[in-house]
Structure 1
Amino acid sequence: MTRVVVIGGSGHVGTYLVPRLVAAGYDVVNVSRGNREPYQPNAAWASVESVVLDRDAAEQAGTFGDAIRDLEPDIVVDMICFRLDSAKHLVEALRGRVRHFIHTGTIWVHGPSVAVPTPETEPRRPFGEYGIQKAAIEAYLMEEAQREGFPATVLHPGHIVGPGWPPLNPEGHFDTDVFSRLAQGHEILIPNLGMETVHHVHADDVADLFMAAIANWSTSVGEAFHAVSPQAVTLRGYAEAVAAWFGQPLNVRYLPWDAWKAERPEGDAQKTWDHIAHSPNCSMAKAERLLGFRPRYSSFEAVYEALAWLIDNGVVETAKR
């Protein structure tokens, strides 16, 4: 039986990926820092081996890669690698020992959008530590795959959405009160003209793309793929769609960036700036061409499912205050 080790498997994507792997007949090991439950229950977790391992502490001790290697994986899926030195440490331990290594990247390796939809071949112009490190990891893994034969694939998710956690909202941050205000017909504030874009993806679609990469080993090794919905959405269009779900007209005030950020907490403003400065709009043509993969969820369908969960659990309030 093929053995798959998922590092960070109880997170957003792992919640859906691990049950898919079990259903496909793989022997699955979930490596996590603690015993956090997945976001959605599934009986498949009963057959998953769980290993508790603090990555940061183990990397500092120089033992993390050896610990993963000693689990004797055929396939390693790394959900939580954010630094180049961390990726190098793991690759050196697994070199010659695994059949497939799949790294979770981010569409932010692209930096600001230029010509859209952006293909994977677009030159990398990342900004911010997160995007810069992820781009460096991608470049390293592709070099290792293409020159040294290390069997690496990189998947670049957009803004991951699913039941159990707040989605990126139409103001470009994560405060769920924005959804409550839209549901109740209250005013929200959107920076500029609301024409910047965000690109969601349902966590289950990301999980399904991991499965497609595994199933199509010969065409996925040495390649990077976007993992997004079929279309990005503008902040304005996103807000209008959410308001319409509740039978409300769009009640929005547009403010220049400096005026907008003065109305919001610093943390929210920074998150919004990161999103609108990137304004991602990525193509899924490569995944369809090489892996036969098409996402099931549109951006709005993915957000709708996540929002329904927030309402059912009392996080978003639909009754007017």
Structure 2
Amino acid sequence: MFQIPGIVMPKSILVITDVHETDHCSLKKAHQIAAPLGAEIDVVRFIKTNGIDSPDSVGVEQQSEALTASLENIFADSEQKRTITSQVIVTDDIVTWVVNYCHDKSFDLVIKAGHRSETLFHTPCDWELIRNLRVPVLIASQQCWKHKPAVLAAVDPEAKDDIHHELNHAILEWAGKWARTFDCTIHLVYSLPVSNIMKELDIIDLEEYAREHRAEGEDKLATLLNGHNLKNVNFHVTAGAPERTIPHCANELKAELVIMGSMGRSGIQGMLIGNVAEKVMHHLRTDSLIIERQK
């Protein structure tokens, strides 16, 4: 039995925003999430230098005023508006700045609006933050949460090594905390592994394979839940590549949030092999909470 340190719901949230963000997505998500938590909020808006050694101070001041006005408007009905801190930072290296800032401040959660513009040789800021931060990252969508939101947590009950075991249990801990705070309906999805050869040769019907192994998969999910205070959890057993099955399941459930673990691959390995969580997120149009493995 692997012991996971007790996970508390976030009490200190870092919100990353930028001038090109659509409809203040990250700020509105922070307002929606932080209100029931009573969490402290620290907002940072980034401006790129565009190769200029001394950025226009007038532009920075204008962005500061605009950010303050946005916060006053979005958090007008919140008691937290008096305690929100905000700043505008000029840098071309957002990831390094955020990693250092999180190390010094010990945030419990980072919120950022999603940007999905990756190519093989370009890793977006989203991916870099997920790979380098030891703090859970919520990549926010434009979607607003319903009254009783559905949360989909992706786990692997077949995990053999300690790191994957710990990720499974951390995901379940976060799902439980989220459910109790926001009155969510929790769904667990397990994607049965299928060899690429079988898929490429078209000698396996994925839906039939999932049906045949559903009872076995549900038993494994139930075993994984032992020791977690999660009630009325819905099980979903699928077959095939997680980057296809998890978004499909999220879409079918109209889930507001998908919780996943990340192995945090970086460098050449990350570029060529990638990370399952990143591949899944590419196909999601909902909020994603990424739990990074602890190194």
Common fold: TM-score over 0.5: no
TM bin (shorter chain) = 0.3 to 0.5
Between structures 1 and 2, the one with greater strand share: 2
TM-score (norm 2): 0.33
Give the TM-score of the pair, scaled to structure 1: 0.31
